[in-house]
Structure 1
Amino acid sequence: MEGFVRDGDSGTAAHYEHEVAPHVRRLRSRALSDRLAESLLFLPIMMLAVAMVLAMVLAEIDERYMVNPSEVITFTPDVAVTLLGIIAGAMITTAGVVFSLLVVSLQLASGQFSPRVLRGFWRDRHGQVLVGLLLSTFAFCVLALARIDTAADHAPPLTVGVALLLTLLSVIAIVVYLDRISRNQYVGRIVQRVARETQSLIGELPYGPRIGVKVGEPVDPPDVGSLGPPLIVTAVTDGWVQQLSRRAIVAAVPPDTVVRLETRVGAFITAGTPLVTMWPPPEDKATSARLVAEAVIIGVARTMQQDIDFGLRQLTDVGLRALSAAVNDPTTAVEVILRIGSVMRPLLLAECPTQAMRDREGRTLLTPCDLDHTEYVAHAFNQLRHYAAPHPSVVIPLLRTMGMLRDCCLSGYRGAMTPDRARTIAALDHQIDLTLQGVRATGMLPADLAMVEAIGAACTAQPTRHPST
């Protein structure tokens, strides 16, 4: 800010702050919402607070207005005290059992599938609501016990009635939770959830509410070597890039500036390494560097806020764990491959954000680290094809999935083949060829090898048509 004041243009820094602030607020709001959605404490604590307030309000109503509850089901004070004490003890005991079940579920999911799928269990609203109900019922009953007058003719009817209602809701929630926790351990539901989250992000490409907005028109990347010495903004912390705002990055620099983002969503960045490079350096370097850094949200773990590649990573991890010698579950690996195919098809047909854009004020944004279709193909199949090679029952669906994707690339365009689509088809052909090479290196039985090679040859034929499995 001081640099702008010395130059007699104190409003310029404020202008940049005004332009960047709304986009940064949206990023932080989404980051906070994502953390709260995965918290096992936030919703239960809110429900606990509501229950405590409700207990005090109902106690006042009972004391002032329910003086003659002849037409209401009532209890004597001694019975009410015994009942509320039993409910409170049962609720806190059940809460401990529920936490134990949750821990066991997390251990099973982490060991059998992947630690990265645990976020789905943390985000389960039914589990959070159940914990909140148990804690709320316990707190409500304890506060109600403190307001019961054992010398009175009857116990507070509204307070006791709501305690019974909360108990009934808690019992129902326990049954629902037990049903969900047993079903959610099924691998099909896990990979379906991950695939749906990923597809929802893909549906926003090339620009959308979460992916980001278009900041300019596509241009050819400039020769940055001829632009002079740059300003390099470095990362101030280690972590995974969870979100970024292209609009905020562009708005943080003066007109006619070239900004190159040195990382991408889903990448790990180390403190002190380049985050953004800009040519020429702005007059107020400190302000621009701070605003650009605020437009990139870095956290301790990858999230699905903007990261399509993280969805592929989760699916691939489940497939790799299934193909390991410790688990040895080829059927699960086949299911994962089919889900990857359902994710990759719309992804390969969608348009990726342009890696070089210029806005109306001449500011150019370069994002060379963003993934393109060929890199998505590599991330989806590189590891799976390596570990699937010894298993004919797995490698055949893998080849057919890649053949299906190749078909959709060939038929997805009308007219001349675009360079991006040609590169994508070449990447799929390369994966098919590497898969066949890996199969040959395993010493597979001649009959199985001949069948696999025939399917591989059919995958690269034009046009190819294969069943889904």
Structure 2
Amino acid sequence: MVNMKNLINKFRSSVWLYPVIYSLVALILSIVITFIDKTYTDELSYFVNGIFYTTPALAQTVLGIVAGAFITIATFTFSTTMVVLTMYSSQFTPRVVENFLNNETTMKSFGIFVSGFIYAVTSILFIDVSVDGNLILAASVGVVYVIVGLTYFILFIHSVSTHIQASDLILRLHLEALDKIKEYRDFIKESKIISEDGMLEIAKDKNALKVFSPSDGYIQEIDYPRLQKLAENHKGIFCFKKVVGQFVSTETRILTIYDKGQEAFDEKVVDQIQKCVIIGNKKTQAQDFSFTIQKIVEIAVKALSPGINDPNTAIHCLRIIGVLLRDLADIKKGYVILKEDDESGFIIYEAFDLEVLLYDAYNQIMFYGQSDASVVVEGFKSLKFIKAKASGENRNTLKAYSENLFEKLMSNAYGKFEYSKIIKEYNDLIND
């Protein structure tokens, strides 16, 4: 089931999804129009204005022009796309290339252009020029197709012009991360979080069975509902000590099964459990909001590179990261229990740790931007956003991280004015 889900996800994110679907629709449309032209022309003439009918010779000419127009637009579109993808990789980060390719406007434009060419070519193939006085609709449908194609071409150009702007890309990543964080928060609300000691108490005096990763790669998704059913059916406690997005190998333990020895967990059951964890060769944002935050971090680091030298983009990224992590600052550290009432089998998995999130989000930006006092000042301002909603334990975590960060940054030689601004923001963060 999970392998099928993985296959469906790959197909949905494929560049050829819309072109294949639209091309099939165009082929069917061509066959249907040809069938109507050969069978119901006289009947339709009472309902369709004669201006839409053309002779076979004129239809061939028009459809030839339509085919040429679509193949020209498709060539230009693919060339433009390759330029945009190259720019994304060099100016932003290779991880955001899929954000442009997965954009519906881009993919639908590809589909319209390719399918328009297929419709025109197949319609030309089906036209019978040997019958004199025959009138057909295929050319008029092709003209309508061209109008739709030109509309999508304008939308594609508009989409490209907005996608290549750093602010627009960061905004889309911001909204994407907000949606994933909201899903995670809603998921947490339905569950209970326990400490490390609480988890050890649950596992006390129980048999432990280690389950290893079925392959090398990143944990992309975990099918929690199916795992919960397996835990309930076999009266076991499935304890994850890995989170979505982590890299694992076949020697890595992805979870431990705790039970009282009343149920036998044979290879078949273990195989079912392993299939609930999707492992892939790259990270995905399906259940991993931290991957989207990582993309924003990489945009900031790239902006700070000597080749681009755009600290304002890095500053904007720091502000967005602070706003995103602010919505996670009140979540406790520990383990989440997914359990129905009166169920002896359930799932325990590790919650996202704010300390890890802070390290992943800020360390690279602050390291590469430490020579620019404005970036350092904005980094401490960003951390203040997080502190505004942080719980008591997370406030201590944030304070300890800020002190460590400040200690490393103070090895730089700042001017008197720059130093005073940094000190002010740091003291506001620590003492507020």
Letter in 2 for 1:184: H
User: CA offset at residue 167 of structure 1?
Assistant: 0.9
Could you tell me which residue of structure 2 aligns to residue 345 of structure 1?
Answer: 326
Letter in 2 for 1:106: L
Q: Do the aligned partners of residues 155 and 447 (structure 1) sit closer, same or farther apart at CA in structure 2, a change above 3 Å counting?
A: farther
Q: 2:336 aligns with which of 355, 358, 371?
A: 355
The 3-state SS of whatever aligns with 2:200 is: coil
**Which whole-Å CA distance do the structure 2 matches of 1:138 and 1:205 have between them?**
44
**Which whole-Å CA distance do the structure 2 matches of 1:321 and 1:75 have between them?**
57
1:47 has 2:26 as partner: no
Letter in 1 for 2:217: G
Q: 1:300 aligns with which of 281, 284, 295?
A: 281
User: CA offset at residue 327 of structure 1?
Assistant: 1.7
Please say if residues 319 and 333 of structure 1, whose CA atoms lie closer than 8 Å, have aligned partners that are also in contact: yes
Could you tell me which residue of structure 2 aligns to residue 20 of structure 1?
Answer: none
Please say if residues 218 and 357 of structure 1, whose CA atoms lie closer than 8 Å, have aligned partners that are also in contact: no
Letter in 2 for 1:241: I
Q: Do the aligned partners of residues 145 and 312 (structure 1) sit closer, same or farther apart at CA in structure 2, a change above 3 Å counting?
A: same
The 3-state SS of whatever aligns with 2:410 is: helix
User: CA offset at residue 384 of structure 1?
Assistant: 1.8
1:373 has 2:359 as partner: no
User: CA offset at residue 33 of structure 1?
Assistant: 5.1
Could you tell me which residue of structure 2 aligns to residue 424 of structure 1?
Answer: 394
Q: 2:215 aligns with which of 237, 240, 243?
A: 237
**Which whole-Å CA distance do the structure 2 matches of 1:70 and 1:107 have between them?**
49
User: CA offset at residue 385 of structure 1?
Assistant: 1.9
Q: 2:179 aligns with which of 196, 200, 217?
A: 200
Could you tell me which residue of structure 1 aligns to residue 92 of structure 2?
Answer: 113
- 1:172-206 per-residue CA deviation (whole Å, 9 max, x = no partner) reads 21111011101111011111111111111211234
Decide which moves more: 299-308 or 150-159: 150-159
Could you tell me which residue of structure 2 aligns to residue 147 of structure 1?
Answer: 126
The 3-state SS of whatever aligns with 1:355 is: strand
Letter in 2 for 1:116: R
Q: Do the aligned partners of residues 46 and 357 (structure 1) sit closer, same or farther apart at CA in structure 2, a change above 3 Å counting?
A: closer
**Which whole-Å CA distance do the structure 2 matches of 1:66 and 1:73 have between them?**
12
Q: Do the aligned partners of residues 213 and 110 (structure 1) sit closer, same or farther apart at CA in structure 2, a change above 3 Å counting?
A: farther
Letter in 2 for 1:458: D
Letter in 1 for 2:396: A
Please say if residues 373 and 424 of structure 1, whose CA atoms lie closer than 8 Å, have aligned partners that are also in contact: yes
Could you tell me which residue of structure 2 aligns to residue 181 of structure 1?
Answer: 160
Could you tell me which residue of structure 2 aligns to residue 122 of structure 1?
Answer: 101
Letter in 1 for 2:278: I
**Which whole-Å CA distance do the structure 2 matches of 1:343 and 1:405 have between them?**
8
1:391 has 2:372 as partner: yes
1:251 has 2:233 as partner: no
**Which whole-Å CA distance do the structure 1 matches of 2:389 and 2:241 have between them?**
32
1:454 has 2:429 as partner: no
**Which whole-Å CA distance do the structure 2 matches of 1:154 and 1:440 have between them?**
88
**Which whole-Å CA distance do the structure 2 matches of 1:424 and 1:241 have between them?**
26
User: CA offset at residue 93 of structure 1?
Assistant: 2.9
- 1:344-374 per-residue CA deviation (whole Å, 9 max, x = no partner) reads 1222245678435655232353324x32223
Q: Do the aligned partners of residues 106 and 286 (structure 1) sit closer, same or farther apart at CA in structure 2, a change above 3 Å counting?
A: same
Letter in 2 for 1:121: F
- 1:288-345 per-residue CA deviation (whole Å, 9 max, x = no partner) reads 2012111111122111111021121111111111112222110110111111122112
Q: 2:37 aligns with which of 49, 62, 67?
A: 62
1:31-110 aligned at under 5 Å gives the runs: 31-32=6-7, 34-67=9-42, 71-110=50-89
Letter in 2 for 1:58: I
The 3-state SS of whatever aligns with 1:222 is: helix
Could you tell me which residue of structure 2 aligns to residue 12 of structure 1?
Answer: none
User: CA offset at residue 437 of structure 1?
Assistant: 2.6
- TM-score, normalised to structure 2, is 0.89
User: CA offset at residue 241 of structure 1?
Assistant: 0.7
1:307-318 aligned at under 5 Å gives the runs: 307-318=288-299
User: CA offset at residue 148 of structure 1?
Assistant: 1.9
- 1:387-432 per-residue CA deviation (whole Å, 9 max, x = no partner) reads 22111121111111112321332xxxxxxxxxxx223112222333
The 3-state SS of whatever aligns with 1:259 is: strand
The 3-state SS of whatever aligns with 2:279 is: strand
User: CA offset at residue 224 of structure 1?
Assistant: 7.8
1:221 has 2:203 as partner: no
**Which whole-Å CA distance do the structure 1 matches of 2:389 and 2:194 have between them?**
26
Letter in 2 for 1:179: H
Please say if residues 19 and 107 of structure 2, whose CA atoms lie closer than 8 Å, have aligned partners that are also in contact: yes
**Which whole-Å CA distance do the structure 1 matches of 2:287 and 2:37 have between them?**
51
What is the percentage of aligned positions where both structures have the same residue?
Answer: 21
User: CA offset at residue 229 of structure 1?
Assistant: 5.6
Consecutive unaligned residues in structure 1, runs of 5 or more: 1-23, 410-420, 463-469
**Which whole-Å CA distance do the structure 1 matches of 2:407 and 2:135 have between them?**
78
- 1:250-273 per-residue CA deviation (whole Å, 9 max, x = no partner) reads 432465533322422111111232
- TM-score, normalised to structure 1, is 0.83
Letter in 2 for 1:46: I
1:261 has 2:240 as partner: yes
User: CA offset at residue 138 of structure 1?
Assistant: 1.0
**Which whole-Å CA distance do the structure 1 matches of 2:216 and 2:410 have between them?**
42
Decide which moves more: 324-333 or 239-248: 239-248
User: CA offset at residue 154 of structure 1?
Assistant: 5.1
Question: Superposition RMSD on alpha carbons, in Å?
Answer: 2.6
Letter in 1 for 2:64: G
**Which whole-Å CA distance do the structure 2 matches of 1:36 and 1:429 have between them?**
45
Letter in 1 for 2:426: G
**Which whole-Å CA distance do the structure 1 matches of 2:211 and 2:326 have between them?**
37
1:329 has 2:310 as partner: yes
The 3-state SS of whatever aligns with 1:231 is: strand
